[in-house]
Amino acid sequence: MQFKSLKTRVLLWFGMVSFLVLTLFVFSFNYFLNNSINNNLKNRLQFIAHKYNDHIEEKNIGVAIIKSGKIVRKNSAFTLKKYKKYLKQKKNFFIIHYKNNDDYIDALYLEKQANKTIMIVKKNIDNKIEDFQDTFLWLIPILLFVFIFLASKMIDKIVLPINKLREATKDITVTQFTQEIELPKEDDEIRDLVLSFNAMIKRIKDGVEQLDRFNSDVSHELKTPLTVIQGEVEIALRKSRKPQEYEKALKIIQKQSLQITSIVNQLLLLTKYSKENIQESFQNCAVDSMLLATIDRFQTQLSEKNLKLNIKKIEPINFKANPVLMESIFTNLIENAIKYTPKDKAITLSLFQNTKIHFTIEDEGVGIEKEHLQKITERFYRADSARNKKIEGFGLGLSIVQNSVFMHNGTLQIKSKKGSGTVVDVVF
């Protein structure tokens, strides 16, 4: 028979264990008490036998002197008729039970001497063992009931937070994460469980919100180029057009297709690696060479805006890392600095190692307002939508940088002030 209730199973096991413990206690106590009483009786009768001088003051003690199997002398208290069967026994102490009365017993002791045997019988002894057994026959069920009752109350107290936890989980859905469990007063494992549950709910809530925002942002970012492509195709197919018009439409479609490809590639870069598999892709990287190669790719953009690139220092550094992610860090940070720095300004960068590896890049761009600093690493987040209409991008660059730095157990620090430029420090 299976019990689904945890409380029922615990009470059942507790009841069985309690019954076994009580039974073992009763039998043990009965055994030791019986031995103790019998030893006391034996010692008492033995003492009487040693001191026997034809006179016994106690009325309930019978004494008989036996020679050659026959009683040669006895007192009036000795009434035992079947005494001969005890003479043949090897032991010298016996407890005699009454047939119709368990409340009293007799104790018999034999003192065997050279030519005689002294037989002493203490009569009508109060059977304390029987009283003890009778007491425990009704005491054990009462104790067992009390134990189970108290255990039930304790279990109710223990499982109350668990029941609240269970009820709270019933109210949780993908769109409903407001339910939290009230913390118990005791600082114990149940409190830790409730704290972990509430923390899990908050993480799930944050994750769902980020997922919803991510889905919304992806839909929005992909909707614009797809709408442009669809519009150009519909216009081109509406009637016959000149080759130049078809060429113009195809260039627009190509541009929008490249935007979609760029978004997808960046999203893949964000989701390709995790903490569990990133270590497998690590290899020794000459970080300084990677940085110089990245700078070289942006020479055209630097020249177009007449930006001065100040290199404080680039130290030779070898670092075990994922080369794709390291390159994405340099590419996105340098690209952002160029995008948001006005013409004829300067960008300063450095790569050096003390106790840790530092890559620092500083621009003289438009800066970032304080309220946006905490959010600029979120996917598709762009600090100034009005300004961003003039600057191409999808708001994924800093998110990729932050994720790449995180995968290398590094830190990303961004300091900026509106109108005063931005300083980004990556530390490994």
Residue 2: burial class (beta carbons within 10 Å; 0-12, 13-18, 19+) = exposed
- pLDDT at residue 425, as a whole number: 93
**pLDDT tens digit string along 114-140?**
788 888 888 767 666 666 667 777 777
User: In 10 A of CB 141, how many CB atoms?
Assistant: 12
Asked whether residue 296 is assigned to any structural domain, the reply reads yes
| E strand or H helix at 310 | strand 308-314
Asked whether residue 157 is assigned to any structural domain, the reply reads no
Asked whether residue 335 is assigned to any structural domain, the reply reads yes
* Alpha-carbon gap, residue 183 to 193, rounded angstroms: 10
Beta bridge pairs of residue 359: 351, 426
- pLDDT at residue 188, as a whole number: 74
CA distances from 289 to 281, 285, 295, 361 (A): 19, 9, 10, 17
Same structural domain for residues 253 and 282?
Answer: no
Same structural domain for residues 242 and 325?
Answer: no
Same structural domain for residues 291 and 423?
Answer: yes
Asked whether residue 151 is assigned to any structural domain, the reply reads no
Same structural domain for residues 32 and 115?
Answer: yes
Q: Last residue of a domain, which of 272, 288, 320? A: 272
Q: For position 403, which CATH number holds? A: 3.30.565.10
Strand segments (E) across 130-249? none
* Alpha-carbon gap, residue 199 to 210, rounded angstroms: 16
- pLDDT at residue 212, as a whole number: 74
Asked whether residue 338 is assigned to any structural domain, the reply reads yes
Asked whether residue 29 is assigned to any structural domain, the reply reads yes
93-97 and 308-314 beta bridge pairing: unpaired
* Alpha-carbon gap, residue 149 to 296, rounded angstroms: 81
Asked whether residue 412 is assigned to any structural domain, the reply reads yes
Strand segments (E) across 22-69? 61-67
Same structural domain for residues 411 and 346?
Answer: yes
Same structural domain for residues 261 and 288?
Answer: no
Same structural domain for residues 410 and 296?
Answer: yes
Same structural domain for residues 297 and 373?
Answer: yes
Domain extent, residue 263, equals 189-272
State the Cα angle at 184 between 183 and 185, rounded to 5°: 115
Same structural domain for residues 292 and 368?
Answer: yes
Q: Name residues whose C-beta falls within 8 Å of residue 254's C-beta, 6 or more positions apart in sequence.
A: none
Same structural domain for residues 329 and 391?
Answer: yes
Q: Last residue of a domain, which of 117, 134, 151? A: 134
Same structural domain for residues 320 and 203?
Answer: no
Q: Last residue of a domain, which of 253, 272, 291? A: 272
Question: In the chain, which residues have pLDDT < 50?
Answer: 385-389
* Alpha-carbon gap, residue 166 to 185, rounded angstroms: 19
CA distances from 250 to 225, 227, 255, 257, 384 (A): 13, 14, 9, 10, 31
- Into how many domains does the chain fold? 3
State the Cα angle at 55 between 52 and 61, rounded to 5°: 80
* Alpha-carbon gap, residue 45 to 363, rounded angstroms: 110
Q: For position 257, which CATH number holds? A: 1.10.287.130
Asked whether residue 170 is assigned to any structural domain, the reply reads no
Angle of helix 243-272 relative to helix 397-407, nearest 10 degrees? Answer: 30
Counting Cα atoms < 13 Å in the Cβ hemisphere of 270 gives 19
Residue showing tokens 């017993």 = 105
Same structural domain for residues 283 and 259?
Answer: no
- pLDDT at residue 221, as a whole number: 64
- pLDDT at residue 389, as a whole number: 47
